[in-house]
Structure 1
């Protein structure tokens, strides 16, 4: 065994000014080389930082957090990447250098008890150990680099192979119970994998993250929400509702603080790893340091604390690599690649400066520094109004409506109709475009000037109004133009054919739309119904486009219905471009602004993608292909309603006016009857009468 020591300098202060909010520096331990991953360990009385460095593994005593010191260092091959986890008193360290797996017995704090093994792999990117003592090694140099599963329970210093997931590469992952939440970074998705049978893991579901570069994922304590990072400049910490893994929903995205760093702006910073700690997310955020997000409401993530560990700024991979929040003391351990180990304190759940920070809100608080979601915006909240304010959350009664400017005549109808019991009624009105309703405003008929009711057994009222076309409007909707971030962002993977889902509430004409591409050639544009049936198609030879795009004239009439899909023909894509992808540009990276709505006419809800093998999905993070929709539709107004009363005539020729009551009606054979027939009425006083009953 070998042990290498090197000098460390304890930094009491910095030469640059750290930006921070609700987080304080306890201490900082600098290294003479770069650091990478961080994990923690506690033995019941003391706390330790497990630090990865470029050339090895460092164990630091942080029991006195103001005075951390290194206990021992185990040398390894040089690598930017190391990852560390522990199973009880044993630490396991992976690296992308050719060291295999380092296993360290932490009960020996001299650092003399450890072993390197390359029995199962030589290099790997990451490791996670579940509560049952299984280690999952991700991104190894074997197979596709999925996950090698090792059993640590029998002999922690000599693990055995339990199974392998090798369907595709996983960059990272975490496991709870029998579920592996894998980060397939190059596929841009998180995968939900059943590992109840370690020898045969099964993919149950997957879902794309906002920037298509899923770096890590961590499940909430109740297993209902997953939080992810995408390791690209300007990307997000994302929240996903995974309570139904077959109907996953993205529910919120958040970026790091955007103040000025010590050496420049904090825009376009890269998130690295996020960890769930109760109601909070603790995230290492490269040049922005460490951030804490309140995720008690996963639909409304709020950044409540941060500490900038790095003098660097912008969208590069310098700065904070990892942050560990699970020490019993509640302290956060963080490793900055250039600045070393940080011990930080933050008052979880007791943050200062909460309030409404939006100066446009009626309850703006100039002293607040963290927006707590309490902002009140006053305005018209009715989406049907001409002056609808989508930002308003409190209505002020100011709504104005298009049809207030038109006077539509109330229809003239035959009223006070009398029918016999059980008969239908014919409702007749003057006009050609009428709407018949019941008194609960349920539509019974549209367009005709007459309506025949169902059989009626009691007095019933109906409502009638007239509808009139007062204007034909043409409007543009959808993303106006393509926005992208270069080749990889402009085009999805070649296996994907995309499109847009939309709902139609009123008949409209889709006149035209626009596409962008660097690849000229023929495509077939398709309109399909919710069940996949083809409604319209158009073969188009699309040239290479400039920034103005290429307009495709369609002239398609769309009638009311839900979940329409506009897409391209997969077979033609395969014939012309070698795979499912039509090689038309899309918009992603947090730029799409779904939904796109034309009030009471249509709503473009989200992007759709399919791999052509039956696997498909949808997401508001992707806007596929079809920009600047031009649509025409009739604007109609409706009159006030006319009331029509239908009365049931009383034609019983034998009205009972005595005090006696009928207890039974039978026919001549003694059978119960209520129908029109010769019958016998038996009264409560014992009398009997024969009558022919018409009702």
Structure 2
């Protein structure tokens, strides 16, 4: 049994801020110039009804949900540190790790922390380089940054420019981080429809990058439909300035999920949102809007799809994927409402805006993804809190499948899916709503486990460090990694020597 106790904050069935049609509206038609569906720089405040606001205030007063900005957590979680934004003021995004450093993405650039003392992270560098998402990964002396908004050029001094302009640029940027205090911008590669996210497939001499992007338009010269694949970039480690696109494999030759009206409420597949690779098994899992896929990456330049699944009842937008350590399960997330809506409530229910747990059955090219269950945080959130399944990572415990995951304003959840059909939460951390009167986008974008601690990048509140003490997860504290990009999933035990 875990040491999770029932929170003293009682929960009730709070209402929903938007009708279903409104939730899905955020998923439609916006091209790479606005970088959907993640909320990103879309931080406009939205009024809710007076009755909804009154319900939120009443729930706070009655102790049914945390107060505005109040921190609550399970007894097995300790909040060690919070570092607010500093020079870089944009929306915080993804995380990567190397040695004693954490690299935090931000829509205005990236920040490097020294986390050798997790209780007191120290800023090492802040790099201003605006571009939506700024999904970040590291490999050796190289840092990779995704740009998914049309810019006037590929420099860090660029300005926004319409995707209808042929001269507009979006794609991958590459930095030399051999000197962590002075990162140097060394290369850029333009990719079709930009780079919403990216995934590294590191080889000895070269790094391959799978670039996920979507939402083409006939009016976008550099993002034409159909866009049924991913860009593959090859980066020579010793000559990163020679990085170039080497392939655009079509993953959906038949077009993928058509979306509405065939499948109402489901995003049509026009590319992928995120890909996770498991190099030790030559496998990858793709979360591709209306589809989830499993593919073989033995030849990293030419990935081959093994299986493709859809969930046209409960999944609106396949957002990300996580393998378990044995590579016989995949957790897919559904980002219902694009991360900007209140979907963690009774009206939406436990099966939408949730995780879908799939077993991988069979062998070789005959492997199939078989659905087992859904997982969603068990705490209802307010109508003013954007909440839905988002980025997470495995917690490396031999013999168990446990992960930590961000849920925007739903906070951080640690949950066990060793039994694919009966997942359960074992720890949590969250803040109360940013506002009790207005929908204000915020919450944790990514929550990852690295070398004994959980690190969370909150879009608004900054960089959080958590300590998890639970007998189920304590064995993970002995596992040490020299580098971690969560979408390039390691073999924790073989590669770490444990």
Fold match by TM threshold 0.5: yes
Q: Conserved in 1, the CA contact under 8 Å of 2:209 and 2:232?
A: yes
Runs of at least 4 residues of structure 1 off by over 6 A?
265-268, 313-316
1:253 matched to 2:363? The reply is: no
Aligned to 2:182, which of 105, 111, 114? 111
Work out the CA distance in 2 between the residues paired with 1:154 and 1:31: 32
1:73 matched to 2:126? The reply is: yes
Aligned to 1:59, which of 90, 95, 112? 112
Work out the CA distance in 2 between the residues paired with 1:276 and 1:171: 20
Aligned to 2:331, which of 227, 230, 236? 227
Q: Conserved in 1, the CA contact under 8 Å of 2:189 and 2:244?
A: no
Q: 1:293 to 1:61 in 2, by over 3 A?
A: same
Which residue number in structure 1 is paired with residue 393 of structure 2? 275
Query: How do 1:83-122 and structure 2 match up within 5 A?
Result: 83-97=135-149, 98=151, 99=154, 100-120=171-191
Which residue number in structure 1 is paired with residue 303 of structure 2? 201
1:136 matched to 2:136? The reply is: no
Q: What whole-Å deviation, never above 9, does each CA across 1:265-314 have from its counterpart, x for those lacking one? A: 79983111232233211111011111111122222211111111463489
Q: 1:183 to 1:317 in 2, by over 3 A?
A: farther
Work out the CA distance in 1 between the residues paired with 2:326 and 2:172: 32
Secondary structure at 1:118 match in 2: strand
Which residue number in structure 2 is paired with residue 4 of structure 1? none
Which residue number in structure 1 is paired with residue 357 of structure 2? 239
Q: 1:153 to 1:292 in 2, by over 3 A?
A: farther
Aligned to 1:30, which of 84, 89, 96? 84
Q: Conserved in 2, the CA contact under 8 Å of 1:130 and 1:174?
A: no
Q: 1:24 to 1:343 in 2, by over 3 A?
A: same
Which residue number in structure 2 is paired with residue 319 of structure 1? 443
Work out the CA distance in 2 between the residues paired with 1:231 and 1:316: 17
Query: How do 1:244-643 and structure 2 match up within 5 A?
Result: 244=362, 246-258=367-379, 264=382, 269-278=387-396, 279-309=401-431, 311-312=433-434, 317-325=441-449, 327-328=450-451, 330-350=452-472
Work out the CA distance in 2 between the residues paired with 1:116 and 1:308: 38
Deviation of residue 87 (structure 1)?
1.6
Work out the CA distance in 1 between the residues paired with 2:320 and 2:440: 18
Q: Conserved in 2, the CA contact under 8 Å of 1:129 and 1:135?
A: yes
Secondary structure at 1:77 match in 2: coil
Work out the CA distance in 1 between the residues paired with 2:423 and 2:316: 20
Q: Conserved in 1, the CA contact under 8 Å of 2:385 and 2:441?
A: no
Deviation of residue 84 (structure 1)?
1.0
Which residue number in structure 2 is paired with residue 180 of structure 1? 284
Which residue number in structure 2 is paired with residue 564 of structure 1? none
Deviation of residue 109 (structure 1)?
1.5
Work out the CA distance in 2 between the residues paired with 1:124 and 1:176: 21
Q: Conserved in 2, the CA contact under 8 Å of 1:169 and 1:184?
A: yes
Bigger helix fraction: 2
Secondary structure at 2:316 match in 1: coil
Q: 1:145 to 1:320 in 2, by over 3 A?
A: farther
Work out the CA distance in 1 between the residues paired with 2:91 and 2:131: 11
Q: 1:268 to 1:323 in 2, by over 3 A?
A: closer
Q: 1:213 to 1:296 in 2, by over 3 A?
A: same
Work out the CA distance in 2 between the residues paired with 1:160 and 1:78: 20
Which residue number in structure 1 is paired with residue 97 of structure 2? 41
Q: 1:316 to 1:254 in 2, by over 3 A?
A: farther
Q: Conserved in 2, the CA contact under 8 Å of 1:289 and 1:310?
A: no
The structure whose Rg is larger is 1
Q: Tell which has more relative contact order, 1 or 2 (C-alpha 8 A, sep 6+).
A: 2
Q: Conserved in 2, the CA contact under 8 Å of 1:95 and 1:124?
A: yes
Q: Structure 2 length normalisation: TM-score? A: 0.60
Deviation of residue 156 (structure 1)?
6.2
Q: What whole-Å deviation, never above 9, does each CA across 1:604-656 have from its counterpart, x for those lacking one? A: xxxxxxxxxxxxxxxxxxxxxxxxxxxxxxxxxxxxxxxxxxxxxxxxxxxxx
> Where does structure 2 lack aligned partners over 5 or more consecutive residues?
1-66, 155-170, 215-221, 253-269, 337-342, 475-498
Q: Conserved in 2, the CA contact under 8 Å of 1:309 and 1:336?
A: no
Work out the CA distance in 2 between the residues paired with 1:137 and 1:67: 34
Q: 1:199 to 1:103 in 2, by over 3 A?
A: closer
Q: 1:291 to 1:280 in 2, by over 3 A?
A: same
Q: Conserved in 2, the CA contact under 8 Å of 1:304 and 1:351?
A: no
Q: Conserved in 2, the CA contact under 8 Å of 1:258 and 1:265?
A: no
Secondary structure at 2:71 match in 1: coil
Work out the CA distance in 1 between the residues paired with 2:372 and 2:385: 23
Q: Conserved in 2, the CA contact under 8 Å of 1:269 and 1:316?
A: no
How many pairs are equivalent? 328
Deviation of residue 31 (structure 1)?
0.9
Work out the CA distance in 1 between the residues paired with 2:459 and 2:388: 14
Secondary structure at 2:69 match in 1: coil
Work out the CA distance in 2 between the residues paired with 1:214 and 1:305: 25
Q: Conserved in 1, the CA contact under 8 Å of 2:125 and 2:181?
A: yes
Q: Structure 1 length normalisation: TM-score? A: 0.44
Deviation of residue 207 (structure 1)?
0.9
Q: Conserved in 1, the CA contact under 8 Å of 2:92 and 2:106?
A: yes
1:124 matched to 2:195? The reply is: yes
Secondary structure at 2:271 match in 1: coil
1:20 matched to 2:76? The reply is: no
Q: 1:214 to 1:349 in 2, by over 3 A?
A: farther
Q: 1:84 to 1:268 in 2, by over 3 A?
A: closer
Deviation of residue 60 (structure 1)?
1.4
Which residue number in structure 2 is paired with residue 216 of structure 1? 320
Which residue number in structure 2 is paired with residue 82 of structure 1? 134
Deviation of residue 115 (structure 1)?
2.3
